[in-house]
C-alpha cells in the first residue's frame, strides 16, 4: 500500500532540491551559491526519505495508480542519477575509483530495495545505517581527493605546460603591442583546497592584456569581486577555452576577482 500523504510532499521536496542544486551549479544565484548547495541538498534528501517511505510503506506498491507513480518517480531519479554519474566520471582519474564510488551508492540502495521487498521489520534502522555509511564513504572519497585529485592541480601549480596556453582569445580586442599576461585555471580547481589560479597575484601595467585559460574540466568564471562583476565578468569559460581582458578600461589600481561558480576560487 502506498501512503500518498508521504508521497506527494516527497515528490515536491525532491523536485525542489534537484532544481536548487541545478541552479547553484549553473551559477545563476552566485551570491548565495554555498547556501543554495546546502539547503537544496537537504531538501532533496528529506524529500527522498518521504518519497521512499510513501512508496514502500507496506512493501512494494500493488495498486495500478501506485505502480504508475512509482515508475514515473523512479524514471526521473534514474535519469538524474545517470546524468550525475556521467558528470562525476569526467572528474575521476581511475576507472577503479569510479567503480568503487558507484558501488558505495549502488550497494546500499540494492540492500534497501531487497529489505523492503522482504518486508524486513528493521527496514528503517537498516536504512539509516546504510545511508550513513554511503555518506561517510562518499565524503571520504571527496576528502582524499579521489574525485578531484590534488596531484594534478599541484602539477599545474608547479608550471606544467598545457597546449591550451597557445589558444587565442577572440572575445575582446587587446591594445596593439600591449604586453599580455597569461593566467591558468588549474586542473582540479573546482575542488575546495586545491590550487586554482596560477599565478594568484598579477602585476599588469594599465593597457596590458590578461588572458585566462581554463585547464580544468568544468566551467569557471573570472568576475570582479568588489562590485560583483560590474568592472569585468567573463561569463562561463568552458574547459580549454580562454577569456581576455583589456585593462585599459579599468579605473582602479587593484582588483580582486573570483569564480562565481566556485566562490572559494579567489585571486587579484
Whole-Å CA distances, 68 to 63, 71, 212, 223: 9, 5, 50, 47
Tens of pLDDT, residues 93-105: 555 666 666 676 6
In this prediction the pTM is: 0.41
**Overall fold of domain 149-268:** Immunoglobulin-like (2.60.40)
Q: State the Cα–Cα distance between residues 186 and 160, nearest whole angstrom.
A: 10
Whole-Å CA distances, 69 to 4, 72, 82, 110: 10, 5, 20, 20
Lowest mean pLDDT among 58-72, 188-202, 217-231: 58-72
Higher pLDDT residue, 34 or 81?
Answer: 81
Cell numbers placing 209: 592584456
> What's the pLDDT score for residue 80?
66
pLDDT band at 7 (very low <50, low <70, confident <90, very high): low
> What's the pLDDT score for residue 153?
37
Lowest mean pLDDT among 28-32, 148-152, 188-192, 241-245: 148-152
CA 101 to chain centroid: 16
pLDDT band at 31 (very low <50, low <70, confident <90, very high): very low
- φ/ψ (deg, to 5) at 100: -60, -40
Give the residue extent of every domain in the chain: 4-148, 149-268
pLDDT band at 212 (very low <50, low <70, confident <90, very high): very high
pLDDT band at 90 (very low <50, low <70, confident <90, very high): low
Q: State the Cα–Cα distance between residues 161 and 250, nearest whole angstrom.
A: 30
Whole-Å CA distances, 123 to 148, 190, 268: 34, 37, 53
> Across the strands, what pairs with 215?
none
User: Terminal CA-to-CA distance of the chain, rounded, Å?
Assistant: 60
Find out whether 229 and 193 touch, Cβ atoms under 8 Å. no
> What's the pLDDT score for residue 116?
67
Q: State the Cα–Cα distance between residues 228 and 225, nearest whole angstrom.
A: 5
Q: Average per-residue pLDDT in the chain? A: 70
Q: State the Cα–Cα distance between residues 191 and 101, nearest whole angstrom.
A: 17
> What's the pLDDT score for residue 205?
83
Tens of pLDDT, residues 141-174: 655 544 444 433 333 333 333 333 333 334 455 6
- Report the DSSP pairing between strands 180-185 and 209-214: parallel
> What's the pLDDT score for residue 257?
92
> Using the 8-state DSSP alphabet, how is residue 220 labeled?
B
> What's the pLDDT score for residue 214?
92
Q: List the 257-258 sheet strands across, edge first.
A: 223-224, 257-258, 266-267
Is pLDDT of 263 > 80? yes
Tens of pLDDT, residues 236-257: 888 889 998 888 888 888 889 9
Find out whether 6 and 239 touch, Cβ atoms under 8 Å. no
> Across the strands, what pairs with 184?
198, 213
Amino acid at each position: 500500500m502506498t501512503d500518498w500523504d508521504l508521497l506527494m510532499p516527497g515528490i515536491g521536496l525532491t523536485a525542489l532540491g534537484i532544481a536548487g542544486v541545478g541552479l547553484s551549479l549553473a551559477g545563476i544565484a552566485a551570491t548565495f551559491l554555498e547556501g543554495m548547495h546546502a539547503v537544496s541538498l537537504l531538501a532533496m534528501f528529506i524529500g527522498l526519505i518521504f518519497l521512499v517511505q510513501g512508496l514502500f510503506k507496506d512493501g512494494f506498491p500493488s495498486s495500478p495508480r501506485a505502480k504508475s507513480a512509482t515508475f514515473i518517480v523512479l524514471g526521473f531519479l534514474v535519469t538524474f542519477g545517470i546524468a550525475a554519474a556521467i558528470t562525476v566520471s569526467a572528474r575521476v582519474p581511475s576507472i577503479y575509483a569510479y567503480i568503487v564510488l558507484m558501488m558505495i551508492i549502488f550497494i546500499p540502495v540494492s540492500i534497501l530495495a531487497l529489505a523492503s521487498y522482504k518486508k524486513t521489520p528493521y527496514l528503517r534502522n537498516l536504512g539509516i545505517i546504510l545511508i550513513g555509511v554511503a555518506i561517510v564513504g562518499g565524503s571520504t572519497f571527496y576528502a582524499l581527493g579521489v574525485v578531484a585529485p590534488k596531484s594534478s592541480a599541484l602539477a599545474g601549480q608547479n608550471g606544467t605546460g598545457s597546449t591550451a596556453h597557445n589558444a587565442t582569445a577572440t572575445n575582446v580586442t587587446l591594445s596593439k603591442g600591449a604586453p599580455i599576461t597569461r593566467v591558468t585555471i588549474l586542473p582540479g580547481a573546482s575542488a575546495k583546497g586545491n590550487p586554482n589560479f596560477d599565478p594568484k597575484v598579477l602585476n599588469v601595467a594599465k593597457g596590458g592584456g590578461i588572458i585566462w585559460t581554463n585547464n580544468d574540466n568544468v566551467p569557471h568564471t573570472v568576475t570582479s569581486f568588489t562590485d560583483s562583476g560590474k568592472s569585468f565578468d567573463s561569463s562561463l569559460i568552458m574547459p580549454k577555452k580562454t577569456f581576455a581582458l583589456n585593462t585599459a578600461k579599468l579605473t582602479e589600481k587593484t582588483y580582486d576577482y573570483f569564480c562565481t561558480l566556485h566562490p572559494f576560487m579567489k585571486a587579484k
